[in-house]
Amino acid sequence: MNELTPQEALQAIADGKKLEYKFNKEKDWRIFRPLDNGVTIGDVLVRRFIFRLAQEMITVGDVSFPKPESEPLEVGTVYWVAAPTHQYYSSITTFIWGNGRDDKRYLQRGFVHLTRDAAIQHAKALVKLSGGSIDAE
């Protein structure tokens, strides 16, 4: 997911969009709640935090997973594929979008994710929705 510039982050906050943030050197993203976080406009402008639009989720019953990509990616973009039959629930290796037949097939089937974690969540959701167990060896 693309990081927002300070101006884009402020506009998204003003527009009431859901955002995620992290401190510059952290790995994990957190849900941004303006009233709870105590983040000032100055914090945003000096890039103390990095912002991005929050990942959209799909919910079926009590199972949620990140929405897969729905548009072709830029050539050269790294992506992962939800793989419910794979031991680790996602492609072990990353794919690089080349606009080829396989890239388009994964996209049409709704399996393309920009993070490995999103692909894993999607695959585990598919297993649960099928009545399977995600803990099975």
Q: Kindly report, residue by residue over 60-111, the tens digit of the pLDDT.
A: 888 889 999 999 999 999 999 998 888 877 666 789 999 999 999 999 999 9
Please give the distance of CA 97 from its chain centroid, rounded to a whole number: 17
Q: Choose the final residue of a domain: 54, 70, 94.
A: 54
Same domain for 42 and 102, yes or no, is no
- pTM over 0.75, yes/no: no
31-46 as b/e, with b when 16 or more CB fall inside 10 Å?
Answer: ebeeeeeebeeeebee
Same domain for 123 and 65, yes or no, is yes
What is the tally of structural domains in the chain?
2
Q: In Å, how far are 6, 11, 13, 58 from 16, measured between CA atoms?
A: 15, 9, 5, 20
Q: State the Rg of the chain over Cα.
A: 17
Dihedral angle over CA of 105, 80, 75, 24, nearest 10: 150
Q: Choose the final residue of a domain: 17, 34, 54.
A: 54
Same domain for 114 and 70, yes or no, is yes
The rounded distance, in Å, linking the Cα atoms of 105 and 115 is 18
Token digits for 28? 């994990």
Average pLDDT of the residues in 22-42: 77
Same domain for 39 and 89, yes or no, is no
The confidence band for 137, taking pLDDT boundaries of 50, 70 and 90, is low
Same domain for 73 and 104, yes or no, is yes
Average pLDDT, the chain: 86
36 has pLDDT over 70: no
**Per-residue pLDDT, 73:** 95
Domain assignment of residue 48, yes or no? yes
**Per-residue pLDDT, 97:** 98
The pLDDT > 90 percentage for the chain reads 37
The confidence band for 22, taking pLDDT boundaries of 50, 70 and 90, is confident
Same domain for 50 and 99, yes or no, is no
Range of the domain at 25: 3-54
- Measured over the CA atoms of residue 92, residue 97, residue 98 and residue 101, the dihedral's sign is positive
Please give the distance of CA 103 from its chain centroid, rounded to a whole number: 18
Same domain for 63 and 92, yes or no, is yes
